[in-house]
Structure formats: structure tokens, C-alpha cells
Amino acid sequence: MAAVEVHQFAQCITCHAWSADRSMIALCPNNNEVHIYRLSQDKWEKVHVLQKHDQIVCGIDWSARSNRIVTASHDRNSYVWNQEGSEWVPTLVILRLNRAALCVQWSPKENKFAVGSGAKTVCICYYEQDNNWWVSKLIRKRHDSSVTSVAWHPNNILLATTSTDGKCRVFSTFIKGVDTRDSKAGSVSDSKFGEQIVQLDLSFSWAFGVKWSPSGNTLAYVGHNSMIYFVDDVGPSPLAQNVAFRDLPLRDVLFVSEKMVIGVGFDCNPMVFAADERGIWSFIRFLGERKSTLSGSRYSSQFSEAFGKFYGQSKSGASNDGIEPSRSRGGIHENCISCIMSLTESGSSRKTRFSTSGLDGKVVVWDLENQEDLSGYL
């Protein structure tokens, strides 16, 4: 099995993030605190508790080079934590929000971070040395509902967002004095702050979990209608694909290579999606299961599955509608997986190790290195 480590840190985990050397993990146990654990003699010990927020912390990101932690909370605040000696000291972030902050992520160069919110805005935050605080510029009047996820393009300028209005959007976040004009970035570095590059109207339901591929050529995000969307050539004429699956919706995604994506969500089991040599994306298998050798007649109807569950029956029969086979929910995780993080260095194009956390309070580390049927996509 691809799972190599399972750790029970709490009854419920909202989100988590790793230090650069992977020896420490920061997580929120579904309250207003952030707990930091350190690996010591094969045991995880709680070494710090970050207490500044008043409500649930819903976003954590740990910068690799600068060793700073940024947190976002439903209390409409965000803090940047710097380690000074043995203590973590918070720095104020001026968000100017009147609704909850929902997600946060450092930019690749770690000179900015983005905060999505329930106020239909995205805050792009940068440091002001004179005042010793982080200030924000807001992308307003672009979203029609809450911003559920943000993802930085490798060029440090473009930012992708998803929203409960069902749309995925890409914006320019160029800030004069913070970013530099780069000839390699082409027209992107010439665009103004907040300029919308593209709006994708592929989903008719809430949209979550957006990510860029390592090269920045492909964008993936998920909808609450049990679909995942892949977009190439993001710009005026994007090329889009969607993959529908029978199981419960996803909440987050991660590119492990240019041709493979891991999706996690309400099904409690990571799902593997991959692109063939023609660039056509499809669902491969669940990561917590062995690859099935059945075909054709293996499929079972969605109605009969629900009917069987109602009477507590286990189904092993087959019918002929073209939907993915029924199976028992979950595996290692026993509740919704809400967060997936890479455990490979950010500069690498192959991310064979990653971790997931969920509402069951577990953090699971997965390794794809020995998965022979998936090696062709890595």
C-alpha cells in the first residue's frame, strides 16, 4: 500500500503544513490554536502552541526558505509567525476583511502571500519594513461568492482562485516595488494588479482545491458535483477537459508530476488521475486499493448501491451501466480528507511523497515510489 506513515494527532484536523526539513508539522486541531509537533526519536512531541486567533484556524502555510508560518482564521485575521529563539512571535497582517478568511498560501518567492475570504475578495499581502507589519492589496468585485482556494503560478505573478460561485479565475498580482519585470514572463509581467487573465465557467456547483502543475502549463480544480477540471494553455483560448466520477466530491488536489494528479475529499481515500500520451485525463484508481483487473461487466448501478446500503447488504454483483464500481468508503482515513501537502522539495517536478489530513484527526504520509502501475506517469 502507498501509505507509509499514519499519525493520530487529534480528534479532528482542519489543516496542516510542514517545515522545510519535514522534521516539524503545524496543524490546527479544529479550534483557534495551531499546534507544532517535532519528530524526536521516532515520536512526535508537541513543542509549541500558537495562540492568537479567536476562531477556527482554516489555513496554514510554512515557507521553506524563510521559515515563516502564516495562518488564516474565521476571525477575519491572519498572522505571520517568526521563530525568535525558542518562541514563535506573531506579526500583524492588515487584511481589512469583514468576513472570515478561508485559505492562505505563500508565493513561490515567499515575498507575498494570498488570503481568500468569505468577503468575495482576495488579499495579496506583502511586508512593509518601516511599520513592521504585513499590508494587503485587495482584488475586489471579481468574485460573486466566497473564495475557497488560492494557488500561485510558478512565475510568482499569476494567482488562480476558486469560489462557491462555481468559477475558477486567474489574476495578475504584480505589485510595483515588490515584484520585478521579467522578460521570461512575457505579457504577464506587464499586466496590472488585479487584472483578470481568464475566467473558467466549467462547474455548475461550488469549486474547490485549485493547483498548478510544476511547469505552470496546466491548471486543475474540482467541483462539488464530483468532477475535476483540467485546463491547458491558460489565457484567452484555454483548452479544458473535465473528468466525472461516481464517488463523493473532492476538496483538494495536488500535482505529483505533469501527468498525474492526486485528489482528496469526502470519499476518505485519495484518487489518482493521469493523462495519457495524447494528453487525455482520466481516473486511474484509488490510492488505498490495489489496481482492479476487472473490466466491462464490473460496473454496478448507483441506485442498487444505495438500495443495498439501505438494507445493510454488501454488493458483489455487477450490472452494465458505465459508472465506476461500488466499494466500501474510506480506508486509512475514516472521515473527509480536507488537506493534501507535498513532502518533496518545491523545485522538484516529481512529488512522489505527500501527506493528507482529515476530520478524523489523522495525518497520513503516502509514497508513490513503489507503485509500479503508476510509475509511467511520474
Sequence-distant (6+) residues with CB within 8 A of 343 are: 18, 22, 351, 353, 354, 355, 365
Q: What is the pLDDT of residue 345?
A: 72
What gap in Å lies between CA 340 and CA 321, rounded to an integer?
32
DSSP 373: G
Instruction: Classify the phi-psi angles of 177: left when phi > 0, otherwise alpha if psi is within -120 to 50, otherwise beta.
Output: left
CATH 2.130.10.10 fits 3-292+327-377, yes or no: yes
pLDDT (0 to 100) of residue 292: 43
- Are 250 and 209 in contact, with CB atoms under 8 Å apart? yes
Given this model, what pLDDT does residue 331 score?
76
DSSP 99-140: S-EEEEEE-TTSSEEEEEETTS-EEEEEEETTTTEEEEEEE-
* 149, 210 contact by CB (below 8 A): yes
pLDDT on residue 277: 92
Coil, strand or helix: which one is 184? Answer: helix
Q: Which cell numbers hold the place of 98?
A: 469583514
Q: What are 249-269's pLDDT values in tens digits?
A: 999 999 999 999 999 999 999
pLDDT for the residue numbered 189: 60
- 199 contact partners, CB below 8 Å, separation of at least 6: 167, 168, 169
Q: Give the span between the Cα atoms of 314 and 305, in whole angstroms.
A: 9
pLDDT at 249: 96
Q: What is the pLDDT of residue 323?
A: 42
| Residue recorded with cell 506587464 | 190
Give the pLDDT confidence of 292-339 residue by residue, as tens digits.
433 333 333 444 444 444 444 433 343 333 344 444 455 799 999 999
Closest CA to 113 of 82, 58, 68: 68
| pLDDT score, position 316 | 37
15: Cα separation from own chain's centroid? 10
At a CB cut-off of 8 Å and minimum separation 6, what does 9 contact? 25, 27, 29, 35, 37, 44, 361, 362, 363
Beta-carbon-side half-sphere exposure of residue 30 (alpha carbons within 13 Å):
12
| Pairing, β 353-358 against β 57-62 | unpaired
Task: Point out the residues of the chain with pLDDT beneath 50.
Answer: 290-328
Strands (E), 118-206: 122-128, 133-139, 147-152, 158-163, 168-172, 196-200
Query: Which segments of the chain belong to CATH 2.130.10.10?
Result: 3-292+327-377
Residue count of the chain: 378
pTM of the model: 0.86
User: Cell numbers 494553455 correspond to what residue?
Assistant: 233
Query: How many whole angstroms separate alpha carbon 41 and alpha carbon 288?
Result: 28
pLDDT score recorded for residue 162: 97
Q: Which residues contact 188 (CB under 8 A, 6 or more apart)?
A: 155, 157, 158, 172, 174, 197
Contacts of 243 (CB under 8 A, 6+ apart): 227, 228, 229, 230, 273, 281, 282, 283
